[in-house]
Each structure stands twice: as C-alpha cells, then as structure tokens.
Amino acid sequence: MDKAKRKRERRAQAHQRIRSKVAGTSERPRLAVFKSTRYIYAQLVDDAAGHTLVQASSFEPDVRKLVEGSAKGRAAARTVGEVVADRAKEQGIQQVVFDRGGYRYHGRIKELAEAARSKGLQF
C-alpha cells in the first residue's frame, strides 16, 4: 500500500471517530473543515435537520479578493475562518462545535480555527 493511500485511510478513520462524538444542532452547529490541495472549505452544519447553515471557502471569488497570496495557504485559511465567523454572526450563531475532519490540528486547520475564534465564535 502506498503512502498516500495510508494517509487517506488514516484521515478517514480519524474523521469517523470524531463524527461519532461530535454532532451539530441548530443552537450549536458543527463547524466542519475540509482541505484539498488547492482550497480550504468550512461550513456550519445542523446535523439534526441535515442542513448547511453557513459556508465559506477559498474558492469563492469574494473570499479570494480578501486573500493575500495563494488560495491554499495559511492566509487563505485565516480569511475563510474570519468570513465563516462573520456569516455565522449574521445568522445569530455564537457557539459551534469544531470538527477538524480528521486532520491534525496545526497549519491551515489551526489558522482557520483561531481566526474564527478571534471573530467571536465560541468553541
């Protein structure tokens, strides 16, 4: 088995462990993070209703204008975290449950989380 496949499987198993313990509600939705090789995505999900309440990604043209440099780096993650927090505040959402998606809490994931916290989201 090659290294990339092992890494994908490890992340999938970690994500399953996290999802068995973390669930979002309408009062406290789940802040789910996904990162690809080019972009980073964040969304607030109400798992009880099965709806996405708020979303932001470095793929969006509005967010790309705010990003300094590449759409895949830490600066992009910081911007996405700030944008998703601002959009959550507009919806009246103050508290969330953080779902790191099986990724380690460092780099882009940590940057997104800290930016969302700095804008007032509590988790």
* Predicted confidence (pLDDT) per residue in 21-53, tens digit: 999 988 999 999 999 999 999 999 999 999 999
* Predicted local distance difference test score (pLDDT) of residue 68: 80
- Residue 96: exposure state from Cβ atoms within 10 A (0-12, 13-18, ≥19): buried
The boundaries of the domain holding residue 100 are: 3-118
Give the CATH number, domain containing residue 20: 3.30.420.100
Alpha carbon distance 35, 95 (integer Å): 22
Sign of CA dihedral 73, 32, 63, 90: negative
pTM, full prediction: 0.91
- Three-class SS state of 69: coil
* Predicted local distance difference test score (pLDDT) of residue 104: 94
* Predicted local distance difference test score (pLDDT) of residue 78: 96
Residue 123 falls inside a structural domain: no
Which residues of the chain fall short of a pLDDT of 50?
none
* Domain count across the chain: 1
* Predicted local distance difference test score (pLDDT) of residue 70: 82
